[in-house]
Amino acid sequence: MNKHILAVAAAAAMAFAAAPAVAGASKDDAIAMVKKAVAAIKADGADKVYPTISDRGGPFVKDDLYVVVYQLDGKVLAHGANAKFVGKDMIEAQDVDGKLYVKERVELAAKQPSFWQDYKFVNPVSKKVEPKEMYCERLENTAVCAGVYKM
């Protein structure tokens, strides 16, 4: 009997291990995406790259990972998940816990060249509010950011 239980457990473990993992982007993916966006902005200029960042079918959006660019006053310059935010002043935006996440983000960007920030936001894939970590790099008077949802 014990050998049968062990065999079933082993088979189940192997099947689970072989199943494809469904996971969002990693922190390394977010860093790489931000670095890719910063390099593109430096090489080709904001006027050319911002519309590409805001294109949901473009190279700066992959599943639940996308780039957002904020001016340090809180104005959205590019947004990979929702182009309707472009041009809007989001300095007063709050997450579900009342955290002024854009205000905090641009304040952090003004003080340091790169950082991680925690807040809660709607996952564009699941459509649910989830904990998120945003990686940002300051580029002149902007913060170029991409985030990952915590699993």
**Is the predicted pLDDT of residue 5 greater than 60, yes or no?**
no
> What is residue 133's predicted lDDT score, i.e. its pLDDT?
96
Mean pLDDT, to the nearest integer, of 69-92?
Answer: 97
**Is the predicted pLDDT of residue 22 greater than 50, yes or no?**
no
Which residues, in sequence order, are CB contacts of 117 under 8 Å at separation 6+? 101, 104, 105, 108, 133, 134, 136
Residue pointed to by tokens 């998940």: 81
Per-residue b/e over 44-83, b at no fewer than 16 CB within 10 Å? eebeebbebbbeeeeebbeebbbbbbbbbebbbbbbbbee
pLDDT in tens, 101-113: 999 999 999 999 9
**Is the predicted pLDDT of residue 64 greater than 60, yes or no?**
yes
Mean pLDDT, to the nearest integer, of 36-42?
Answer: 98
> What is residue 115's predicted lDDT score, i.e. its pLDDT?
98
Return the structure tokens found at 81. 């998940």
**Is the predicted pLDDT of residue 129 greater than 60, yes or no?**
yes
Domains plus CATH for the chain? Answer: 25-149 (3.30.450.20)
3-state SS of 83-124 is HHHCCCECCCCCCCCCCCHHHHHHHHHHHCCEEEEEEEEECC
d(CA 5, CA 35): 50
Are 81 and 67 in contact, with CB atoms under 8 Å apart? Answer: no
- pLDDT band (50, 70, 90) for residue 121: confident
> What is residue 23's predicted lDDT score, i.e. its pLDDT?
57
Mean pLDDT, to the nearest integer, of 30-43?
Answer: 98
